[in-house]
Amino acid sequence: MEAIKRMVVAVFDFLQGIVVFLAILVMIYLFLFSPQEINGASMEPTFFNAELIVTNKFIYKVTPPKRGDIVIFKSPKNKDIDYIKRVIGLPGERVRLSSSTFYINGKALGEPYLPSRTVTAPGAFLGENKEITVQAGDYFVCGDNRPHSSDSRDFGPVPGGDFIGKGIFRYWPFDKFTIIPEPAFGV
């Protein structure tokens, strides 16, 4: 009888440990980090369809987004859909697109993550040689696959409040496991 009692206690202790572990995982998922699947081609060649990354969900609560950050945010057109793009323009900056080059406050933005001769066409919101000023709290974002990306050129700057988090590393496919680099800009 004592052996059965010890076994029941051991099983309940084990189950209690599992419940605590799962509760910790849920808290991490809800408030700190979460997986994100890349859907579509808008970030090629940086990310490809079906790749998986980890999103840091708390970083923008303590520090503002920086130019070049890979951000995940709620689509301006449908809040049930998440987009992934790169921050190009920061609050208060003037953004202009001219001959496939972004200009930030009048200076050409070098984009080392793009293949050479990438065509960046104007969109419905930001036309060729049209300059906009990014409002306080908003960010101008673009996909790396400029010909196949719906981004701020089309729908305008994105409120920082719609940001879910920052992409920090790719973990699938495993042979492409890497920390997402932060490009250096001269602007």
Cβ-Cβ contacts under 8 Å for 53 (sequence gap 6 or more): 35, 36, 38, 47, 70, 84, 167, 168, 169, 170, 171, 180
Q: What percent of the chain has pLDDT over 90?
A: 76
> In 32-82, which ranges are continuous DSSP H helix?
59-62
User: What CATH number labels 32-179?
Assistant: 2.10.109.10
Mean pLDDT of 92-96: 98
pLDDT of residue 187: 64
pLDDT of residue 112: 92
Retrieve residue 116's tokens. Answer: 């050479």
Q: Which of 114, 181, 178, 109 is nearest to 146 (CA)?
A: 114
> What's the chain's average pLDDT?
92
> In the chain, which ranges are continuous DSSP H helix?
2-31, 59-62, 152-155
Burial class (CB in 10 A: 0-12, 13-18, 19+), 47: buried
pLDDT digits (tens, 9 = 90+) for 104-121: 999 999 999 999 889 999
Active site residue 42: yes
152 has a pLDDT exceeding 90: yes
Active site residue 74: no
**34: which strand partners?**
55
Of residues 30 and 181, the one with the higher pLDDT is: 181
The number of helices, as runs of H, and strands, as runs of E, in the chain is 3, 12
Burial class (CB in 10 A: 0-12, 13-18, 19+), 15: exposed
Q: Which of 85, 150, 152, 166 does the annotation list as catalytic?
A: 85
**With left for phi above 0 and alpha for psi between -120 and 50, is residue 137 left, alpha or beta?**
left
Mean pLDDT of 60-65: 96
Burial class (CB in 10 A: 0-12, 13-18, 19+), 151: buried
127 has a pLDDT exceeding 90: yes
